[in-house]
Structure formats: C-alpha cells, structure tokens
Amino acid sequence: MIRSSKTWQAVALTAVAGLALSACGTTDTDGGGGDASADECNFKIGVMGALSGANASIVLPSVDGAELALTQWENDECEVTLEKFDTEGDPAKATPVATQIAGDETFIGVIGGAFSGETRATKSIYNDAGVTMISQSATATDLTQEDPVEVFHRVVPYDDYQGAAIAKYLTDELGASQVFVVDNSEAYGEPLADRVEETLGDAMVQRDKTEVGQTDFAPTISKMESAEPDAVFYGGYIAEAAPLLKQMRDAGIDAPFIGGDGLYGADFGNAVGDAGEGAVVMCPCAPIEGDSTFAADYEAEFGAAPGAYAAEGYDVMSVFLAALDDGARTREDVEAFVDGYSGEGLSKTIAFDENGDVPQDAVSYWAYKNEGGTLVPEVEVAP
C-alpha cells in the first residue's frame, strides 16, 4: 500500500476539499436569477438566433431593436433583462439554449427563433415549458400552418403571403408576364420561390435552382438568355445574389431583378455594387416614418441605421413589456396576454390569430429599390 500512498493522499485531499467547499454552498445553477415570487417582478427575456456566423447580419439589428425597446421602457415595478443566446442559426446549437431557457423559470418569454430551422427544432421545447415565443423573422409557412404549437407567435407574415405579394408586385407593378424564378435550394429560398411560382402561374417562364455558396451562374444565365424574361426573381441571400446580378448584367440581361426579404439588409448595396443599381428587394417590413423617433434613437444608440427586422425586434420586445405592464407575472399570464394582444407596432398593427400569425390585413409589404447603394422604399404592395 505504501506504493500508492501518494494516490490516496490526493484522493483524500480532493474529498476533504470537496466536502469543505460543498459545505460552503452550492452553485446557483438556475443562472443566477432571483426567485420569482409573486410580489417581486424580476424577469428575463431571451433572444435566440445567429448572433455570430455568416448570417448574423440579418439577426443582430432585431436584437438591437429589442434592446432599444427595453431601454426606452418605463416601469418602476419590474426589472427585466434581455439575455442573448447565440445559436449560429444551427438547430443543433439551438436546442441546448432552448432547454436552458425552458428550465429557468425567470424567463417569461423568448424573442425568436430568428430563422425557421432553429424555430422548428425548439418550438416543442418551449411549448412543453409554456414559454411564449414571438419570432421577429421566421417566415416558414409550416411553423404555424402545418404544425402549430400553442406558444409560437410571429410578427412577420409567412412565406405564402410573402410569395403572393412578390408575385403581385411582379405582375401588377412591373407588368411582367415572363418571370424567371431562381432559388437557392435552401429552407429559406425554395419555399418562397415555390409560392411565387404558384401565384405567378403562367406568368412564370422558367424556374432554376442554385446553391448557397455558388458564384458562377453561367448555366442559369444561359437559361435566362433563351427564356428572355421580363423580370427575374431570386429567392436567396445576398452572397449569391451579388454575383448572380453581376453576371446577368454582364450578359446583357436588363430585366428587373427582384429578391425576397433574404436580401433585405444594410449590406445589400455594398455587396451588389453597380450591377445591383435598381434591384428591388421585397420585405414585409414597413419603412419607419412618421412621428416615430425609432430610426433616430436606434442610430444614436447603436451607431448605424436600423437594419433588417430592427423594427420587428422592437415590436416583439414591446409586446412582452406590455404584458408585464399589464400585470402578467407568470408564463401562463404572458401567454394569455400575448394571445389576446392587439396594438400598434412600429412595423404594423400587432395581433395574433389562433395559429400565432399576425392578421393578414395588418401586414404591409414594401418594395425597396437599391439606389446608389441604399434600399429606398418604393411602393407598398397589398397581397
């Protein structure tokens, strides 16, 4: 036994140390939040989405928007913190986050998921725990239409509406009768393009699928050349839209280029350059105008103009804060309040139907035109 005395010493030391320290107390694994007793109002709201990675630029403005709403909120009674959870947009990374939020009773609501994939992967977790979700930007149709859960709400219309609005813009505003539809084969672009195709009917001349990460669109261009479209719709993201546009214009295809809200972002103009002059981005996000000081406040706070879904993020946060103002103190209260909510938001009139969607008549679609590198609101389209 002498041989291993050192081992035993180590074991004994560890054991003693462990006991001593455990006597001092255990860690608060609930994340450091206080007890949510009835008379105390101290809550957390989670925001979950791609805060890092390639797609963060579509998500971060909405988080900032939510932050702004919280800063501007005035309530002496309650203390609210906004906890940011980075999922990188990856459903696999979103589930531990969701479980964490679900298990911590001080979270009374979640802003998100920002993307449809992570929302799909987490909504049953939140549903089981009764945490109300309000998404600022997840637009997949099935989230509310095919597979709805009690707790999921969103302030953006789903792809079906958006597709219809885009098709309407194409036919009514542009008078296009031969639209060439391209998508990026991803969960975002493809269903949207499907919907556009469906609504366009005979007005679509050809459909082509591309890939995320693709830069050479020569095959698509030659298909366009033979199809001779009078408008091109692209369902996808900025990274691919930029080279696609450039190659289209190089090949002498001057048809108007229309993209979905995946292209809506402050960096669109910078990415597409000269080739993107006049390109149109459709977005269910109304330009912020009128007597609201949102744009100015946002710029003062974060040093940049409000980007994609910033107003939606603000609106979502406002709904949760209104719930607390209303006296909601439990997850059930919040859920009940949100279900019955109706009010004027920055982006639209916010209310939720039984599936958690905003009513169709409250939604406004806007076409933004890229002029000199910035997206300028052009026209509102009612679907």
Give the containing element (helix H, strand E) for 154: strand 152-154
Pair 131, 324: CB distance under 8 Å: no
When asked if residue 121 is in the footprint of other proteins (CB under 8 A), the reply is: yes
Distance CA 276, CA 240 (A): 12
Give the containing element (helix H, strand E) for 5: helix 5-24
Q: Segment contacting other proteins (CB under 8 A): 89-97, 287-295, 316-324, 352-360?
A: 89-97
Give residues with Cβ within 8 angstroms of 292, minimum separation 6. 346
When asked if residue 301 is in the footprint of other proteins (CB under 8 A), the reply is: no
Distance CA 162, CA 195 (A): 8
When asked if residue 5 is in the footprint of other proteins (CB under 8 A), the reply is: no
Pair 85, 122: CB distance under 8 Å: no
Helix axes 218-227, 238-250, angle to 10 degrees: 50
Compute the least distance from the CB of residue 374 to other proteins, in Å.
14
Contacts to other proteins from residues 175-214, by CB under 8 A: 185-187, 190-191, 208-211, 213-214
Distance CA 309, CA 289 (A): 15
Contacts to other proteins from residues 215-254, by CB under 8 A: 215-220, 222-223, 226, 238-239, 242-243, 246-247, 250
Q: Segment contacting other proteins (CB under 8 A): 27-35, 65-73, 254-262, 285-293?
A: 27-35
Q: Segment contacting other proteins (CB under 8 A): 45-53, 197-205, 279-287, 338-346?
A: 45-53
When asked if residue 382 is in the footprint of other proteins (CB under 8 A), the reply is: no
Q: Segment contacting other proteins (CB under 8 A): 72-80, 113-121, 330-338, 348-356?
A: 113-121
Cβ-based neighbour number of residue 149 at 10 Å: 16
When asked if residue 92 is in the footprint of other proteins (CB under 8 A), the reply is: yes
When asked if residue 278 is in the footprint of other proteins (CB under 8 A), the reply is: no
When asked if residue 277 is in the footprint of other proteins (CB under 8 A), the reply is: no
Q: Which ranges in 35-158 belong to alpha helices (H)? A: 56-72, 91-103, 116-129, 142-145
Distance CA 51, CA 142 (A): 24
Q: Per-residue string for binding with other proteins, 317-356, x by CB under 8 A?
A: ----------------------------------------
When asked if residue 381 is in the footprint of other proteins (CB under 8 A), the reply is: no
- Both tokens of 358, joined, read 């905003």
When asked if residue 34 is in the footprint of other proteins (CB under 8 A), the reply is: no
Closer residue to other proteins, CB minimum distance, 61 or 345 = 61
- Both tokens of 184, joined, read 């990026």
Contacts to other proteins from residues 147-166, by CB under 8 A: 147
Q: Segment contacting other proteins (CB under 8 A): 62-70, 116-124, 228-236, 323-331?
A: 116-124
Distance CA 119, CA 109 (A): 14
Could you tell me how many residues of this chain bind other proteins (CB under 8 A)? 85
When asked if residue 42 is in the footprint of other proteins (CB under 8 A), the reply is: no
Distance CA 166, CA 151 (A): 29
